[in-house]
Structure 1
Amino acid sequence: MKNEKCSPIIFIGMHRSGTSLLGRLLEDLGLFVGTKKDENNEALFFLELNSWLMAQCGARWDNPEQLDYLWNPEVEPVLTVSKNYVSDLMKSPRAARYLGMKRYLSQHSIFAQSTPWGWKDPRNTFTLPFWLDLFPGARLVFIERHGVDVAQSLRVRADCSIASTQNRYSKLKPITWLIPKRGGFCDSPRSLSLEGGLSLWDTYQTRAQTQLDSVAQDRVFRVRYEDLLSEPLKILKDAAEFCGLSTSDQRVQEITRSIKPSRAYSYSKSQDLLEFAKTHQNTLAKWDYHA
């Protein structure tokens, strides 16, 4: 389990910060990030485990601080059995959910990887201590983005969530009494306001920095979303080398053609968002971002 050749690339960083973009680009260059994934290119196997870890402490992706209870000394028995459980899952047929059946039949374990692999999930920003215990040689990719753009993206997604669930409720209203609703009408009420989204961004930024400070710097690749958009060839080549991927300039050029530099600092095109950024300059400046 501590064999360096099986050590993963673990993506950390705030939701809506470019983790999906960078993950997909590196996947196109040969990084294995799982077979069954969601619409955000997150491997369901690790996404579900991260959500499960958080749920043990009453935490969620948009209220992640509760997870800190898991690191308390008094909770060590829970943490130990949780690690054993996850380790066993990675060596069980359940691992095929991540590896795919062909890889599973030939390797029988996620720990048996010998080519570059990893997974992307912003929740890793908070669950990282758990994964580093299982994979002490893991390397980290951290991507960050301007906080106002993140907050706005979260708000748009939350608004869409409400519209979708309201529409579904309207259509099924006559029979909803038959099947109680499992979820709410919005995945994250906190994200409906720019203030809530920005505070969540600051929380993730703070925790990411704490995690990076605990890992040797040669095992960390840190990049800004805005730099990836403005210098995709250079950034992606550096990221590929960090991940141990062999690639060519031609291949990197091919997969970066669709990148749109204009998406950087999108907030600056809106007067309302510009005013919001100016009002929250102190929070942005903590991470060397500005209005």
Structure 2
Amino acid sequence: MTKQLQLKLPPLGPNLVGATGGSGTRVVTRILRAGGMYVGTNLNRAEDAMYFQSYLDDWINPFISRTCFSDSREIEREMIHNLEAPLSKYLEDFQAEEPQPWGWKNGRSMYLFPFFHHLFPRMKFLHIIRDGRDMAYSKNQNQLRKHGSLFLSSTEQEQWSSPVQSIALWSRINFLVAEYGEKNLPGQYLRIRFEDLCTAPVATIFQIFEFFGLQGNAEAITKDEVSPPDSIGRWRNEDMPTLELLHQVGGTALRKFGYGITAEFQQQDNRENKLSFYLPSNSVPELLEFPERLQNIHSQLKKSRDWLALIRTNLNSSSGG
């Protein structure tokens, strides 16, 4: 760490919640608040911590493009300096007489996951996943609009429809977040599916409370806060050609996160796009089709050693399928 925060932070935090926009994290914020976590006061209708909104707008694209979701030391000094003001504002209203868990929910925090972990080694991260096929047809495509060009090649942006671009982004960013959390934050990373919160809310709330050290009446919270939306499974009503491409592009991530591939899409799943969970930048997806160019990509983008290892692993896995 080249620079430390000048702020003195309270214990038992920060605890962060990240997700693709529209994943149902609003109810998660309410659950955390009901369990005794301080989640901030300046929140929008989606219960996002708005003090960090401009910070995420300013830093996600530079961070991803310059670090490839890995080592942030190259730009962390300025990132830390710019974080101090919104973090200080967020903590102004935190007046706990006894130690109290604290943190914030802003879905896009997951794009800066390695940076936050580097800055806060003891942080906890709750990763909310919702079926990428439903997410592809969500009206909330703000993340695709703001950050899609970092994860999609120019060809993909020109030729793919919005739902296909959406599941490509969903697949790639959530796969990276999951891989990073599983590898680097044992015991500090928890992944919850929104669908499980809807079908088994009491058990899922208990799991969240245990992870963060919270307490509350899970049954009462379920009654007050959990209401499964009609949009669950909406992808099944869409046209078959687009759904086939969704499964081709998103199959690896769908399987990883426990979303079943039904029989009619098995062929597309078997022919899955090799690039379904890579992190591209402009023309990089096309280059990734050629393993012999990996070293050139490394030189061009200054990818970390871990990032190269992940690419090679995924290429070998795809070639074997």
**Do both share a fold (TM > 0.5)?**
yes
Structure-to-structure mapping, 1:150-229, within 5 angstroms: 150-153=135-138, 156-157=139-140, 193-229=162-198
- Distance in 2 between the 1:233 and 1:285 partners? 29
Report the CA distance between 1:133 and its aligned residue. 2.3
Structure 2 residues not aligned, in runs of 5+: 1-6, 149-156, 263-321
What is the deviation of 1:25? Answer: 2.3
Aligned to 1:280: 246
CA distance in 1, matches of 2:213, 2:69: 33
Please list, as runs of the form range in 1=range in 2, the aligned pairs for 1:92-107 lying within 5 A after superposition: 95-96=88-89, 98-101=90-93, 103=94, 106=95
Q: In the alignment, is residue 243 of structure 1 matched against residue 215 of structure 2?
A: no
Distance 1:236 1:207, change over 3 A: same
Other-structure match for 2:118 = 133
Distance (Å, rounded) in 1 between the aligned partners of 2:214 and 2:39: 13
User: Does 2:84 match 1:115?
Assistant: no
Any conservation in 1 of the 2:23–2:194 contact (CA below 8 Å)?
yes
Paired residues of 1:4 and 1:137 also in contact (CA < 8 A): no
Give yes or no for contact 2:134–2:231 (8 Å, CA) kept in 1.
Answer: no
In structure 2, what is the Cα distance between the partners aligned to 1:192 and 1:25? 35
Q: Find the aligned partners of 1:253 and 1:69 in 2 and give their Cα distance.
A: 39
Unaligned runs of 5+ in 1: 60-64, 162-185
Corresponding residue for residue 80 of structure 1: 77
SS of the equivalent of 2:112 reads: helix
Asked if 1:9 corresponds to 2:15, the answer is: yes
Q: Alpha carbons of 1:54 and 1:249: their partners in 2 closer, same or farther (altered >3 Å)?
A: closer
Task: State, as a whole percentage, how many aligned pairs show the same letter.
Answer: 21
Aligned length: 239
* Contact 1:16 1:150 (C-alpha < 8 Å) held by counterparts: yes
Aligned to 1:48: 54
How far apart in 2 are the matches of 1:249 and 1:71?
Answer: 36
Instruction: Measure the CA separation in 2 of the matches of 1:70 and 1:121.
Output: 18
Matched residue SS, 2:137: helix
User: How much has 1:225 moved relative to structure 2?
Assistant: 1.2
- Could you say what secondary structure the match of 1:209 adopts? helix
Q: Aligned to 2:187, what secondary structure does the other structure show? A: helix
Q: Which residue of 1 aligns with 2:232?
A: 264
Query: 1:11 touches 1:122 (CA, 8 Å); kept in 2?
Result: yes
Deviation at 1:35, TM superposition (A): 0.4
Q: Give the conservation status (yes or no) of the 8 Å contact 2:36–2:214.
A: yes
The AA in structure 2 aligned to 1:79 is E
Deviates more, 1:143-152 or 1:190-199: 190-199
Equivalent residue, structure 2, for 1:168: none
Give the residue type in structure 2 aligned to 1:248. Answer: N
Helix, strand or coil at the partner of 2:53: helix
> Does the 8 A contact of 1:2 with 1:135 survive in 2?
no
Cα contact 1:34–1:100 (8 A) shared by 2:
no
Greater alpha carbon shift after TM alignment, 206-215 vs 230-239: 206-215
- Root-mean-square deviation over aligned CA pairs: 3.3
Return the alpha-carbon distance in structure 2 between the equivalents of residues 3 and 188 of structure 1: 30
Q: Kindly provide the CA deviation profile for residues 141-190 of structure 1, in whole angstroms up to 9, marking residues without a partner as x.
A: 1111111110100xx246xx9xxxxxxxxxxxxxxxxxxxxxxxx87897
Alignment TM-score, normalising by the size of structure 2: 0.63
Question: Which aligned segments of 4 or more residues in structure 1 are displaced greater than 4 angstroms?
Answer: 1-4, 69-73, 186-192
SS at match of 2:191: strand
The structural deviation recorded for 1:264 is 2.7
Inter-partner Cα distance in structure 1 for 2:197 and 2:71: 37
Query: Cα distance 1:145–1:275, how it changes in 2: closer, same or farther (>3 A)?
Result: farther
Q: Quote the offset at 1:128 in angstroms.
A: 1.3
Q: For 1:35, what is the secondary structure of its paired residue?
A: coil
